[in-house]
């Protein structure tokens, strides 16, 4: 099966299913980039350094690119800015709040791994197994502003 879907439609479907992280305000595809806007004030718990940053710049924008998809894991390269300043080096500080949001969605621990080099690894196989058992994704791309999935149903 071949699926093409706009990132904003993915967010809309996630909101309908009450699976969208409340911190995400919007997403939009732009060629091979997914642009994300997040309101960090919507996070319930933040580590100390991020609390200060959120007071100064509560809205962050991220450009997310698919760096690779191997063995069911999508690795995303993330460039973050807050108030026009590069903030992707602070991404590792957001690891704990991201893990908490993942747990709130009923997903297995470790399905999202925030890495120190401004990358996020998403274990697509484990994520889908938790939410849509029997669906196996064999390929992922971002093309012309849309997420493209190749998948099979077992």
| Domain residue limits, the chain | 7-124
Give Cα 39 distance to the centre of its chain: 14
What is the distance between the alpha carbons of residues 33 and 77, in angstroms, rounded to a whole number? 10
pLDDT grade for 44, boundaries at 50, 70 and 90: confident
What confidence tens digit (pLDDT) does each residue in 90-139 have? 777 778 888 888 888 888 899 999 998 899 999 999 998 988 899 999 99
What is the distance between the alpha carbons of residues 70 and 85, in angstroms, rounded to a whole number? 32
């Amino acid at each position: 099966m071949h699926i093409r879907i706009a990132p904003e439609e993915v967010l809309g479907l996630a909101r309908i299913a009450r699976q969208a992280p409340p911190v995400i305000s919007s997403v939009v595809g732009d060629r091979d980039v997914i642009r994300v806007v997040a309101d960090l004030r919507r996070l319930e718990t933040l580590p100390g350094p991020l609390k200060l940053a959120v007071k100064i710049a509560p809205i962050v924008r991220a450009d997310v690119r698919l760096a690779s998809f191997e063995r069911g894991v999508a690795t995303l390269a993330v460039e973050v800015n807050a108030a026009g300043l590069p903030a992707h080096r602070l991404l590792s500080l957001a690891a704990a709040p991201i893990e908490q949001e993942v747990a709130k969605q009923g997903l297995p621990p470790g399905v999202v791994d925030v890495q120190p080099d401004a990358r996020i690894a998403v274990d697509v196989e484990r994520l889908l197994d938790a939410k849509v058992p029997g669906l196996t994704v064999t390929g992922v791309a971002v093309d012309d502003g849309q997420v493209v999935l190749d998948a099979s149903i077992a």
